């Protein structure tokens, strides 16, 4: 790194990628993979997401991980962000629920309301 300009270039490029302004990605899936998430079973969830996307031949969805957001009791947490920036937070995920999210939300655009944080908080 030689200058702030160089840093700014990386910043803008990554922001573009993250906000999906590029044409090839339509949705972003983020899985919480800190100790709390992994202990709660984030790895099978991640595998299930990748497997389900692969099986359906969906290549325009990016799947990445992130750290602890603070609500460890609701892990594993999966967030789906659509191109408009709308974020849906799914909580207490399992491999089966993850496959369902791919089928209903990613493929058919129907949010799985019963798996969202709002629903979990109502209990």
Partner 1 sequence: MQIVRSHVLICGGTGCTSSNSPKVIEEFKVQLNLNKIQDEVKIVQTGCHGLCAEGPIVVIYPEGSMYTMVKVEDVKEIVDEHLIKGRIVKRLLAGDKDVQDFTKSLDNVEFFKKQHRIALRNCGVINPENIDEYIAYDGYKALGTVLTTMKPHDVIDTLKISGLRGRGGGGFPTGLKWEFAAKQKANQKYVCCNADEGDPGAFMDRSVLEGDPHSVIEAMAIAGYAIGSNQGFIYVRAEYPIAVKRLNIAIKQAEEYGMLGKNIFGTDFDFNLEIRLGAGAFVCGEETALMTSIEGFRGEPRPRPPFPAVKGLWQKPTILNNVETYANIPVIFLKGADWFAGIGTEKSKGTKVFAVGGKINNTGLVEVPMGTTLREIVYDIGGGIPGGKKFKAAQTGGPSGGCIPVSELDIPIDYDNLIKIGSMMGSGGLIVMDEDNCMVDIAKFFLEFTVDESCGKCPPCRIGTKRMLEILERITGGKGEESDIEKLELLAKNIKAAALCGLGQTAPNPVLSTLKYFRDEYDAHVKDKRCPAGVCKSMMHFIISAERCKTCGICAKNCPVDCIAGEKGVPYVIDQEKCIKCGVCMEKCPFKAIFKNA
Of 47 and 66, which CB lies nearer to partner 1 in the complex structure?
66
CB of 67 to partner 1, least distance (A): 2
CB of 51 to partner 1, least distance (A): 20
Q: N- to C-terminal Cα distance for the chain? A: 50
Task: Give the pairing of strands 87-90 and 61-66.
Answer: unpaired
Of 17 and 47, which CB lies nearer to partner 1 in the complex structure?
17
Of 71 and 99, which CB lies nearer to partner 1 in the complex structure?
71
CB of 1 to partner 1, least distance (A): 4
Of 28 and 98, which CB lies nearer to partner 1 in the complex structure?
28
Interface positions with partner 1 (CB under 8 A): 1-4, 7, 10-11, 13-15, 17-18, 30, 32-36, 38, 64-73, 77, 79, 83-84, 86-89, 111, 113, 116-118, 121
DSSP 116: B
Question: Which of 96, 2, 1, 79 lies closest to 33 in space, CA to CA?
Answer: 79
Taking every pair of C-alpha atoms in the chain, what is the biggest distance, in angstroms?
A: 53
Give the Cα separation of 19 and 72 in Å (integer).
Answer: 26
């Amino acid at each position: 790194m030689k200058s702030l300009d160089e840093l700014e270039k990386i910043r803008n490029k990554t922001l573009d990628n993250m906000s999906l302004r590029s044409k090839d990605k339509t949705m972003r899936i983020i899985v919480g993979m800190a100790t709390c998430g992994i202990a709660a079973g984030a790895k099978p969830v991640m595998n299930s997401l990748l497997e389900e996307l692969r099986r359906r031949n969906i290549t325009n969805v990016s799947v990445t991980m992130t750290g602890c957001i603070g609500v460890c009791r609701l892990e594993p947490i999966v967030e789906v962000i659509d191109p408009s920036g709308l974020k849906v937070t799914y909580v207490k995920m399992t491999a089966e629920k993850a496959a369902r999210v791919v089928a209903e939300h990613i493929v058919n655009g129907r949010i799985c309301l019963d798996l969202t944080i709002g629903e979990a908080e109502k209990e």
